[in-house]
Structure 1
Amino acid sequence: MVKAGRVLAAALLALIGTTGAAPQTEAATATAPGAVRAAVPAAVRAAPAPAPWTGTWEAAPSGTAPALPGAAVRNVVHLSVGGDLLRIRLSNRLGTGPLTLGAVTVALRGAAGPDAVPGTMRKATFGGAPTAAVPPGGDLVSDPVPLAVPAAADLLVTVHTPTDSGPATYHRTALRTSYVAPRGAGRAADEDGAAYTATTSHWYYVTGVDVRAPRGAGSVVAFGDSLTDGTGSTHDADRRWPDRLAERLRPRRLGVLNAGIAGNRLLRDGTGPSALSRLDADALSRSGVRVLIVFEGINDINGTPRANDVAGFEAAYRTIVSRAHAHGIRVVGATLTPYGGHRAFTAAREDLRQRINAVIRTGGVFDAVADFDAAVRDPARPQRIRPAYDPGDHLHFNDAGMRALGDAIDLGALR
């Protein structure tokens, strides 16, 4: 009893001395046998941990566009999972000068166009301030924004840049219509989108949305090139394969983050930094990541004729897996899909693709494999994709092909 009393006294003194710290859980306090556990107040033992942040949407920076000084860009983004709070990720990662943010707002999108759902417009802040400056090469996360959002919602993220901050970090292949108010001063918080008279097919500055979600939730990062970015699928329809995966995972409350960049390569910089060099920023550091799906390599085969060393691909894949495992993230490798009939196709490149796929399938590199090749190849001509999945260029996928890829992932492999 004396020992139990001393332990209880120590626990209460620690509690008094750490006002404002996260309350201890039952698991943390139940380190001694029965008497000590029973003596700790129930309010201390049962206090829930704060709900974690989970990524619900992403666009990886892929390049720069001319700045739009004085304009407000109303980016339309499609969320995967919902939550009771959100925060916005903005980037000047590829910029050359400080990015001045005059105002940033978020709102649920109305039925169509740039209009917001009445009553949902919120102003984002940064360290409590409504404006911010992002240094070149930097990223910025907003304070929590008190807006509850449902799963599969369209969100308006409006960014007003009052001055010319130099090249604007953007995501080129948005496959989404967003809107621009050329005279954007004071327009970021407009619920009525009448001032947004111009359109753009890019996402400017915004690179992610996180939500506060229930415990047990998390996110899956789809890491790849144009085949993940969505080239070939229907504009404004959200029919990329990560969108299909998000539909399948919604009952499990797992968000899906699309980190695809059209033209991206595994081994070398090209359109955007290489997969190896952008892994931390676009995947491992994102909120709540549980699983990484890697679908990279076809642009290396096509764009770098001397990249014919299978060992080089395997080493790169193993590096990705090792770095992900260091963060407790499971990695699924996706086989590279056929492209016979495409202008870049050669017999030598096809042989390399087959050898790389053998490594992915049987080399023991990944925690699990998604056999995208088997899901979409034409049984009569396995060097080509099925005609029903081909948008016409023999490399990318139409909506049906994207759905086939999204359905080819074993959800059990994502646990």
Structure 2
Amino acid sequence: MRYTQKKTSLLWLLAFALGCTAGVAQAEDRWIGTWAASPVSVKNETALGSAPMTIRQTVHISQGGETLRLSLTNEFGTEPLTISAASVGFFASGDTIVDGSAHPVTFSGSPSITIAPGQFVTSDNIKINLPIFSDLSISLEVPAQTITTLTEHPLASQSAYLVPGDHGTVVNLPEPKEIRNWIFIKNLLVPATNKRTAAIVTFGDSITDGARMSLNSNHRWPDLLAARLTTNKKTKYLSIINEGISGNRILHDTAGPKALDRFDRDVLSAPGVKYLVILESINDIGRTYFARPGTQPGEEAVTAQQIIDGLKTLVDRAHAKQIKVYGATLTPYEGAAYFSAEGEKDRQTVNAWIRTSKVFDGVIDFDKIVRDSAAPSKFAKKADSGDHLHPGDVGYQMMADGIDLRLFQ
């Protein structure tokens, strides 16, 4: 009897140890996005492809680790895209990287990669010690080739640099040209550190993308939310994947594919996604009453109910993947170029539905956070960037500070 009990205890301890080991392995084998930029199709009006060139682009990650993967994209390209070499280093200033920090990137063991039109690729593991909130400079050496269409994220509010020749690992680029787009880079991944590690996708338009923030400040509300998350022991393992596109709409293609079409790519396929914040449709409302260039008034008109139906479709699709969804109310826009009284009625209708419908798992009331209490169709003066559509740095901070972190616990 004693032998049986001892044997049973040993077997139980062995099973427990194996279970713990499996749990650790499972965490290490799971990857999450620590940075992303939603790509769109842009006609190539740069010198890329005309001769060998280097692009150096800086990104601000949300979670760190000891290993990194880089995804490059040719999703909107019409020809195969060749990258002859890639490296990741620590940003120092401008086009300068920290001396000795450049880490080579390989793809199936090769330093070069050719990406088919419509595809993206993810690198081999890059061994690099990454503190949280690291600023990384990604250098791509692009050989001479035909590039008709760029797959890029425009209006990044972040300086990037182009220079002729192959200079990916040099500390300072020789006489670079500054641009403000992210080109060919899709996302960065790090391993999950434990079972609580997961990603929050912030999905929306220019307000999520950080339009009108101070250049190179990383003052987007998702960046600022990421900083707050790390101060809370229950949320410190969460990363932010920013999938905002300036000018984007729910129901019509404008700047990039409409939200309904890009949702699978940018949300449902996001590595490690557990939570989703949706802030979108102000461009649907604005463009209903104010035609964008190349269209006629009313050509892309939508109703408040159609916007609501579109939002509900997004929520249903996320819930089908067990993703918690938080609806963010639309911020004020009186004084913006495409403001109208009719559009303001639609904004109020959509916001009332977001607040009361119970479709979402929770509500983030950005409207209430940044509006002028005496004139609620306008931004509070301190929150306004000056164009009356986008927050400024203070407004973005107010948005991030107004989010209840218990939503992500």
Same fold (TM over 0.5): yes
Alignment partner, residue 263 of structure 1: 247
How many angstroms apart in 1 are the aligned matches of 2:20 and 2:198? 23
Which residue in 2 is equivalent to 1:46? 20
The 5-angstrom pairing of residues 304-319 of structure 1 reads: 304-305=288-289, 307-319=301-313
Give the superposition deviation at 1:253. Answer: 2.3
Question: Paired residue for 2:173, among 194, 199, 216?
Answer: 194
Specify whether residues 39 and 397 from structure 1 end up closer, same or farther in structure 2 by C-alpha distance, changes over 3 A only. Answer: closer
Asked if the contact 1:294–1:332 (Cα under 8 Å) also holds between the matched residues in 2, the reply is: yes
Residue type matched to 2:216 in 1? D
Cα offsets for 1:378-404 (capped at 9, x unmatched): 011111111111122111111001111
1:150-229 matches, cutoff 5 A: 150-166=131-147, 167-184=149-166, 187-190=167-170, 192-195=171-174, 197-215=176-194, 216-229=196-209
> Corresponding residue for 2:320?
326
Native 8 Å contact 2:279 2:329 kept in 1:
yes
How far residue 148 of structure 1 moved from its aligned partner, in angstroms, is 1.4
CA deviation profile, 1:180-204 (whole Å, cap 9, x unmatched): 22122xx2222x2233622211111
Q: Whole-Å Cα distance in 2 between the matches of residues 151 and 39 of structure 1? A: 36
Distance of 2:332 and 2:173 partners within structure 1: 46
Secondary structure, aligned partner of 2:283: helix
1:104–1:123 Cα contact (<8 Å) kept:
yes
Task: State the alpha-carbon separation in 2 of the partners of residues 100 and 125 from structure 1.
Answer: 13
Contact 2:42-2:150 at 8 Å conserved across structures = yes
CA 1:162–1:360: 2 relative to 1, 3 Å: same
Residue 360 of structure 2 is aligned with which of 366, 385, 388?
Answer: 366
* 373-382 or 324-333: bigger deviation: 324-333
> Aligned partner of 1:54: which letter?
I
SS at match of 1:384: strand
Asked if residue 386 in structure 1 is aligned to residue 370 in structure 2, the reply is: no
2:39 to 61, 65, 69: 61
Q: What residue in structure 1 maps to residue 123 of structure 2? A: 142
Q: Identity over aligned residues, as a percent? A: 38
Determine if contact 1:120/1:147 at 8 Å carries over to the other structure: no
| Matched AA of 1:377 | R
State the Cα distance separating 1:40 from its structure 2 match: 4.1
- CA deviations on 1:350-397 (whole Å, 9 max, x unpaired) are 111111111111011211100000001101111111111112211111
After superposition, the Cα gap between the structure-2 partners of 1:46 and 1:376, relative to the gap in structure 1 and judged at 3 Å, is closer
Partner of 1:74: 56
SS across alignment from 1:76: strand
More deviation in 340-349 or 358-367?
A: 340-349
CA contact (8 A) 1:64 1:95 kept: no
Q: For residues 81 and 381 of structure 2, what CA distance do their matches in structure 1 show? A: 46
Cα 1:261–1:39 shift into 2, 3 Å: closer
Could you tell me which amino acid in structure 1 is paired with residue 206 of structure 2?
S
Which structure shows the higher strand fraction? 2
In 2, Cα distance between equivalents of 1:173 and 1:262: 7
Alpha-carbon distance in structure 2 between the residues aligned to 1:390 and 1:102: 44
Once the two structures are superposed, what CA deviation does each residue of 1:120-141 show, in whole Å capped at 9, x if it has no partner? Answer: 2111111121111111111111
The residue number in structure 1 matching 2:226 is 246
- The structure-2 alpha-carbon separation of the partners of 1:389 and 1:162, relative to structure 1 and needing over 3 Å to count, comes to same
**Equivalent AA in structure 2 for residue 160 of structure 1:** E
Q: Is the 8 A contact 1:333 1:366 kept in 2?
A: yes
CA contact (8 A) 2:284 2:302 kept: no
Letter of the aligned partner of 1:153 in structure 2? Answer: S
Question: Any idea what SS the aligned residue of 1:211 has?
Answer: strand
Name the SS for the 1:140 alignment partner: strand
Does residue 1:83 correspond to 2:65, yes or no? Answer: yes
Q: CA deviation at 1:226?
A: 0.7
Q: Is 158-167 or 223-232 further displaced after alignment?
A: 158-167
For the aligned residues, what is the CA RMSD? 2.0
Which one has a bigger Cα radius of gyration?
1
* 1:36 CA displacement: 8.7
Residue 293 (structure 2) aligns with: none
Deviations 1:138-158 (A, max 9, x none): 111111111111111110111
Q: Secondary structure at the match of 1:342?
A: coil
Kept in 2, the 8 Å contact 1:54–1:213? The answer is yes
For structure 1, the 5+ residue unaligned runs are 5-32
Aligned length, in residue pairs: 381
Give the Å deviation of 1:165. 3.8
Cα-to-partner distance string for 1:297-336 (whole Å, 9 max, x where unaligned):
0000011345443332222112111221222211110001
The alpha carbon displacement at 1:41 in A equals 6.0
Paired with 1:296 and 1:315, the residues of 2 have a C-alpha distance of: 13
